[in-house]
Structure formats: structure tokens, C-alpha cells
Structure 1
């Protein structure tokens, strides 16, 4: 029996009655939320709705000048991570998912640019001990469609290109794209702009590094069949520190025997043994990886594999949605899986949906991170209102933030997705991006 968003949120103490907005503002007689931090309160400035006792600060907004003078803050703020800085400060590395049509490119800076014809990359914000922004500059440029990524145990950021465009193609790039790039937040020039080609060329979404074994897990965001794969990269120099991933390694893809498509699993708690199959051609020189021949038994696909994060001794990864009409084995509105490398298993932890609940919040989970209470924070990337949700270790879902910045037109409101949720090293501040119009928030309050 599948668990729906309605039942998950009802378990979190939300009563489903009255208008949708009332469920998360505590108005119109809606019962108070008993899990999480309480109902969301409308923001008088119409930017970010939060529970009582929480507040936010806008750190950066697309189009404003970068403090470095290198140009404007780029558009399409996406994946992000927070790192310790001297004097109890924080460094934030932030992706910009810019395609060739992006209105605000990541400025091309000498020594940090891979392909001058590509408009994506990363910017770096430095905050002092009070949370005030003291610097903002380019950390990586000339990459394309930098979606999410992941941090390493040696405190660098792995930025992922969600594209497979080749040099000389329709996009007009001078270099091949579809790679992972390492960014050193302490000194971006030290890492430069070097593609980690051994980690594969495909539409990367996110990565997570096993801090004990050094294995790097990667998600592939493909929404057209054949769908994406879940990968692991076995570095030649595991846990070797900055630059060690350039030494190469072996790329493998996940096979769940008897399960060619993860969408058909509909019961949270269902667990399966896994196999890892070598990728025939990680460079995808002639054939995209997901089309390649993995031999008898095939390989396991999933539509829209997105967020990926290490925690609880394993790697959590997200399938944002699946649609039978687009070729998936079944419909769902979001899955969160856990791979346990010690036991060699994958387990479906959370299922959002089904289609009967499409008017309720909680569809299309995307970026994820570990929450202060040991659960997860999940960014929503679906239709209608956009939320950051918490998920308890028991699989219960509760609202944390709602985007109140209406970027629609009169009569047709719209809100940008959330992305890049991450916490400060002391776990006292949550940082998160509103993808459009491109805003980075710092949220403080009584985190558990």
C-alpha cells in the first residue's frame, strides 16, 4: 500500500480541510502542525513564509553587482554548500544553472573559465561571524547548466553540469560538456576549471561522497526515456584531498535485479539487494551512457534522478517524479531512496503522491540535505506553491518555508522552485536559494 502526501502530512499533524493556503498559515480553522516547527506565517514583505520564531536575511539577489566588481550576480541560483571560514565565518559556493539563453551569465574570469561560450558556473559568498556578506565573486565560469553537486570530505564543492552538449553543436560551445568540476572555496584559483572526465559525461545532477570509503555517488537527471542512472565512482585515490579526483578511477551503474525502473516500487520500506555494473564508455564518445549495453540483466533506470546527499551511513537520492505517459513503469510524485553500501541494499524511504493529491503540496522533491535533527530537508520543484519540507527520520513530512515571491502575472501567480538547501557548519542557519528570480536566503531560528 502506497503512502500519499496526504497521509504523510496528516501524520505530521496537518488537518486537510478548507483552503490549501490555510493548511500552512494556521488560518481558516486549520489545526496547528505538531511535527516540525509549526504553521507557516505570511511574510509581510512577500518573499519567504516561515514558522513563528524564524527570520530570514536576503544575502544576494540576481542582477545586483557582485562585490568583486566582476559583473552582476548571475541568474538561476541552484545547488549550494556551506563551508567553515576563518573567524567563525562561512563560505557559500553557489551554482548557476545557466543555459545559452541565460539573461545573466557567470562572468568569464581568467584562470577560472573552462569554455568562454558557456554561461554557467559558480559564485562564492563570504560571510563573517555575524552573517554579514563581506565578499561575493566568481569561483567557476565557462561551464554549462550547473545544477546541483555535492561537498567533499576535504571541504571542496563538486559542481555538476546537467547537459550532454558537445563542442560545435547547436549550443555553440567550444568544449564538450556534461562533466563534474571541483571548486575550492578557500582558493578557487587553486582548483581552476578542470573537468573530472573519469566521473563520466552525462546530464549530472548531484553527487555525494562516502566519507569513510571515498566512493562518489552521482545522479543523472534524464526525463526522456531511457531515463537516468544512479552511479558510483571508485577513485584511484580515495579520500586523497583536493585535486585527487583528477587521478581517475572506475565508473559503475546501479542494477537492482528484477527492477528495471525504480518507479514501480510504491511501498516505503521496500528494500532490495543491488549490483554495480561497469560503465562501458564513461566518456560517452559515441553513445550516451544510459543508452549503452550493460549486458545480461540490463541496468536500472529512474526518471528525474536529482538530489543526492550522504547521511545515516548511506547515500540518500531522489527521483523527482515519474510519469507512465512518458515511458516510466508507474506514476509517482517523488521518491527518496537510501543506498546502504555496507549492506549492499537500496530502500524506498519516502513516497510523495499519488496523482489524486496533485493539488496538495509536496510534489517533485529536488535538492536535499541533512537536517539538524538527523532527518532531511527537501526542496520542492513542482507546480503551484513551492516549499522547503523537512522529513523526519520516521518519514513524516512537515513544512519549513514557502516561497512568497510571486513572479507570475496578474491572475496567474507563480513561484520559483527552491534549490541548494544547506546548513551552516554550526547548524544554526539554513541557507537556501529561490531559483527564480535568483535569491539566496539565510534562515535562522530555533532549529532542533
Structure 2
């Protein structure tokens, strides 16, 4: 191609780029709340530069800044923490919306989550979640407070059917490492409406590993979990069978069984390249030591037939509406042979149907796409209630939230305008070569009227309204 998709989108002001997908893209939209028709081919139109220098949006859209790192929490507990990441939105009473927001702070985090009695797991850790209570009609903040503190590297997670958030630690550091006083690598449940109901209790039976995201089967209560391991052998795809399925807040503390997915004859999902490829005999193997007391789970002995790995297992969500009872979708952002993967790709989306024990490679991103645009490394993915898909970009240069229509057309929904020029920040830009913080945590209000999204650096939470349908 004579021009990169980045040039098409940001240089000419156009709103649509032709991304090459292979496979049944419509599969990604299973379970959207509204069976809306595809958006027009021009998306929402060109992005309009924001005079305030925060967020560029199409004409007819507007945003409100809900929260920024360094500001004071309305609870008086301290400053708003840094590194805004995964996020969930839940319906509250009298039109309120409860947002639960992850803070992916390591020991070097700029602004850690304030330590609060009764809500802190390990005082030496700087990660956690904050909870915002909003007036859903006006997108105004009524309250903002610590929801859980003393956790580490809270990357993504997922909602439960009983309106709580499962926040995931993307680390497996042990007590004594990096000054931590407790083991890390767990999932924690967070109630955005009343954080003290859930406290700071690790759900240890769900495993200790580099968690990324989760999805709950609303029929069986089984929880599916992705592992974004940074070194080979790469992560596994898990399921947790709770003793008290769908029991509501706190029920996951009752324990259960953790299992890892084995695809017979496929030790590495990256070798599968053809969309539509199906595996009819997926197996689930008990994890020998879910707490990884001596050996990380992905290195444990799963028997002579081994286990199935995949690089960069990230997004995970439940899609309903199928006769088989629904399916869980999970994302492998990329695979690179230079990193140790058996095969290479620019992004895959897999579908597992529990009722059929069937695993299908649904969509492959690239490799004919420009690797700096959304055809590469799909990360945070959100199903829009109006029938679209939202993808958060995580790369170099300008950062976008992209929409994807059912016909596979990609269009820009938002572009970050906050240049980051300090080498001390996560984005690592300089005055001569600025960077922009990635987007994360995209989600929609329960009524579908507002898109909430985070800028990771500098940590900023936006509420975006517009003609979504």
C-alpha cells in the first residue's frame, strides 16, 4: 500500500481504513444488547481536533472528564492514582452508574492507590481499584473513592452477573520480591457500590499467575481466565468451576476447581492460521498446584500429553444468543517466533462453546494490515450496545479508540490529544518525539448512552456521548 493506515486516519482526516480481517467477523458481535444495523461506511466522520487538547472526537460527539490522576479523591482518601486501565460499568439505584477502574501500578507507579483500612491487601503494593459513582443522566461524579488497595499490576478483569468487578493482578511476584509483604498474582472481587462488602480478599482457588481478563458464563457460573505471561512457555487459558456458582457477591470465596485447556495435538495456538478451524475435543485438565507454591502454573507437569499455550492472551468476554447456550471469546494479541512462539500472527480471536466443547479460530488480524493500526495487537475489546465493536489501540505514536462494524470496516471514534513528553512516564516520550498514552478500559453505560474510556497516561477517565446508533 502506498500509505499506511495511520496516515489515512490522521494525515488526511478520513474516518475509515480498510482493515484486512480473515474469518467470520460477525462472530465477534454475538450477544450485543441491541440488534442494530451496521454503521454507515463512513463511520462517524472525521475526528475534530479538541481545542482543550484532551480528546479528539467526530462532530456531534462530546466528552466530559470524570477524573484525572493527581486530583483529590472526593472521599478525601488521597490523590487519584496513576495508570488507568481496565474498567467496568454497573447500574445503580435511581439512575446512578458505578464505575470500577483498575490502576496498573507496579512498585514504581507514579501515584499509588491510597492505603485504606479494611480495603488493603498488601500495604507495600501500589495497585488497586477506585470506584466512581455517577449521575447517569448527566455524567457527573457524585463520589470517588478507593475500592481496593495493596494489589499489584491490576491490568484487566471482567464483570460478574451480580454486578461486581473481578480485578486481575498481572504478576506472579512472591512475598519478599520488590518489597511485597504478600504473594501476588490473584483475582479480587470488587463491589463498586459498596467496596467494604468485598474488602481485599484474594480468590486464591482461581489461581496465582499473570492474570489478564475474565468472563463469567451466566448460565453455569464457570469463570474463564486468560494469562498474559511475558516469557515462554506462554500463558494458558483456564476455567474455574466454583463450588457456589452464580451465588452472588462473595460466593467465589467458597473455592472451586481450576482447570487449563488442552487442545489435543496443539501445544501452541499460534500454529493455527486458518480462520474457521475447529477442534471438537477440547479437554480441561486439573491444575496441579493453583497457588503455584513452587512452580508457575504454565511450567507445571500436566502429564505426558502436555498442555496448550498461547502468547499474549488478553481480552476475554462472553457472547450469548447461541442455541448452544453461548460462548466465551478470548484474544491472543499477537504471536512472534522471535519471542519463542511456534507460529506468528498479528492477532487472533478464539471462540469456545462450552455446550459443544468446541474451540474455533474465528478471526485473524493481518498480516496484510499495517502493524501500527488496529489490524495488529487487538487489546481491550468492548462490545457496543448498538451493534459495534470498540478496540483500544496500544502502540507507538497517536493512539485511538477504533470502531469496527459488522462488515469489517474500521473507523476512528476517538484520538488522544494529550502528548506525553516526560521520559519518566509510562509512555516514555520526549519533547522532540512525543508519545500519547494508550487507551484502556473502554466500556458502555448500562443504557448504552455513554462510552467510558481511560487514557492510561496521564491517567484520565472520559465519558463520551454522541449519536451511537
User: Scaled by the length of structure 1, what TM-score is found?
Assistant: 0.91
Distance 1:94 1:373, change over 3 A: same
Q: Do 1:26 and 1:40's aligned partners in 2 also have CA atoms closer than 8 Å?
A: no
User: Residues 28 and 434 from structure 1, CA distance in 2 versus in 1: closer, same or farther, beyond 3 angstroms?
Assistant: closer
Pair 1:131 & 2:116 matched? no
Matching residue of 1:23 = 8
Size of the aligned set, in residue pairs, is 432
Which residue pairs with 2:413 in the alignment?
A: 400
Work out the CA distance in 1 between the residues paired with 2:259 and 2:455: 33
Measured in 2, the distance between the counterparts of 1:414 and 1:280 equals: 43
Q: Which residue of 2 aligns with 1:96?
A: 103
Residue in 1 that maps onto 2:213: 206
Q: What's the counterpart of residue 13 of structure 1? A: none
**Per-residue CA shift, 1:275-314, capped at 9, x if unaligned?**
1111111111111000011113211111111111112322
State the secondary structure of the residue aligned to 2:116. coil
Q: Any gaps of 5 or more consecutive residues in structure 1?
A: 1-15
2:243 matches 1:230: no
| Match of residue 284, structure 2, among 243, 260, 276 | 276
Residue 346 of structure 2 corresponds to which residue in structure 1? 333
Q: Does 1:372 align with 2:385?
A: yes
Check conservation: 1:371, 1:390, Cα contact below 8 A: no
Q: What SS is found at the alignment partner of 2:157?
A: strand
SS at match of 1:263: helix
Give the alignment partner of residue 353 of structure 1, picking from 355, 366, 375.
366
Q: Deviations over 1:104-136 (max 9, x none)?
A: 000000010011111110001111131111111
**Equivalent position of 2:446 in the other structure:** 425
Give the distance between the partners of 1:373 and 1:267, measured in 2 at CA. 29
Report the CA distance shift for 1:83/1:43 in structure 2 as closer, same or farther (over 3 A). Answer: same
Residue from 54, 77, 82 that aligns with 2:89: 82
Deviates more, 1:290-299 or 1:406-415: 406-415
* 2:186 maps to 1:179: yes
Distance of 2:14 and 2:106 partners within structure 1: 45
Equivalent position of 2:310 in the other structure: 302
Aligned 1:382-397 pairs, distance under 5 A? 382-393=395-406, 395-397=408-410
Q: What's 1:57 paired with?
A: 64
SS in 2 for 1:245: helix
Separation in structure 2 between the aligned mates of residue 172 and residue 26 of structure 1, nearest angstrom: 46
Match of 2:458 among 437, 443, 447: 437
SS in 2 for 1:250: strand
1:330-350 CA-partner distances (Å, limit 9, x unpaired):
222222222221222222223
- 1:138 Cα deviation from its structure 2 partner: 0.3
Confirm whether residue 114 of structure 1 aligns to residue 130 of structure 2: no
Q: Among residues 236, 243, 255, which one is paired with 1:248 in the alignment?
A: 255
Structure 2: tracts of 5 or more residues without a match: 18-39, 321-325, 421-428
Please state how far the C-alpha of 1:318 moved relative to its aligned partner.
Answer: 1.2
Distance 2:275 2:152 in 1: 35
| Alpha-carbon contact 1:17-1:30 (below 8 Å) kept | no
Q: Secondary structure at the match of 2:176?
A: coil
Could you tell me how far apart the structure 2 residues matched to 1:68 and 1:107 are?
Answer: 11
SS in 2 for 1:365: coil
1:252-297 C-alpha deviation (Å, 9 max, x unpaired): 1111222211112223332223211111111111110000111132
Equivalent residue for 2:176?
168
Aligned counterparts of 1:138 and 1:29: Cα–Cα separation in 2? 41
Deviation for aligned residue 1:180? 0.4
Cα distance per residue 1:223-267 (max 9 Å; x no partner): 210000010000000001010000000101111222211112223
Greater Cα shift, 42-51 or 409-418 = 42-51
Q: TM-score, normalised by structure 2?
A: 0.87
> How many angstroms does 1:196 deviate by?
0.3
Deviates more, 1:79-88 or 1:329-338: 329-338
Moved more, 157-166 or 310-319: 310-319
CA positional deviation for 1:24: 2.2
What's the offset of the Cα at 1:17?
A: 5.5
* Alpha-carbon contact 1:421-1:432 (below 8 Å) kept: yes
Structure 1 stretch displaced more, 354-363 or 238-247 = 354-363
